Amino acid sequence: MKRCWLVKTEPSSYSWEQFNTDGKVDWTGVRNFQARNHLREMQKGDEVLFYHSVVGKEVVGIATVSKTAFPDPTVDESVKGDWVCVELRPKKALKRGVTLAEIKADAALKEMLLVRHSRLSVIPLAKAEFDRILELAGN
DNA sequence: GCCAACGTTGGC
DNA sequence: GCCAACGTTGGC
């Protein structure tokens, strides 16, 4: 079954603009068990909201999973554990960014893990939450 | 720039 | 196995 996700990134390290320039990216560097488990559950074609943390604090676009979990090539001998990444491709920019403040203010979204668990970097979304964000964005 | 929340590490 | 210390993330 197709699922919806949200990934966070600081635009100063990797932005939506850079993502679009690249055309695709291996979503590497996840070093959190919960986030990793979510990466493993991603299926090809799943839709992923792209969120800018710290700077902007808004959802800026939609990506799709183009390759399911595979070993993270950025892991070397100094890193313990069995880490994975996925390949993402940009699908569509939001017409208008949806900010964290708006998400918190929205009755349908304020229970999102993005709000409740702000440090998790890969977050599963309910379809209704995903749709609501697109609605707020005007897409 | 500060600090709260959380995860990880290491001593016991 | 507990818990204090520490590092990191991310909102404000």
Model pLDDT for residues A11-27, shown as the tens digit of each residue? 999 999 999 999 999 99
Tell me the three state secondary structure of residue A2.
coil
The more confidently predicted of residues A49 and A75 is A49
Question: For A115-139, what is each residue's pLDDT tens digit?
Answer: 999 899 999 999 999 999 999 999 9
Pairing of strands A4-9, A47-52: parallel
- Position A82 scores a pLDDT of 84
Confidence at residue A2, expressed as pLDDT on a 0 to 100 scale? 83
How many domains does chain A contain in total? 1
Interatomic separation, CA of residue A36 and C1' of nucleotide C1, rounded (Å)? 26
> Residues at the strand C interface (CB under 7 A)?
A 8, 10, 53-54, 57, 100-101, 104, 118-121
pTM of the model: 0.93
Q: What's the CATH number where A36 sits?
A: 3.10.590.10
> What positions of strand C are covered by protein, i.e. any atom < 7 Å from a CB?
8-12
Which strand B nucleotides have any atom less than 7 A from protein CB atoms?
A: 5-9
> Residue A59 CA to C1 C1' — how many Å?
41
Summarised one tens digit per residue, pLDDT across range A61-74 is 999 999 999 999 98
Residue A84 has pLDDT above 90, yes or no: yes
Interatomic separation, CA of residue A44 and C1' of nucleotide C12, rounded (Å)? 37
DSSP for A94-114, please give it.
Answer: EEEEEEHHHHHH-TTTTTSHH
Q: Give the structural domain span for A114.
A: 4-137
* Residue closest to A88 by CA, chosen among A11, A30, A7: A7
The larger pLDDT score, comparing residue A33 to residue A5, is at A5
d(CA A70, CA A50): 20
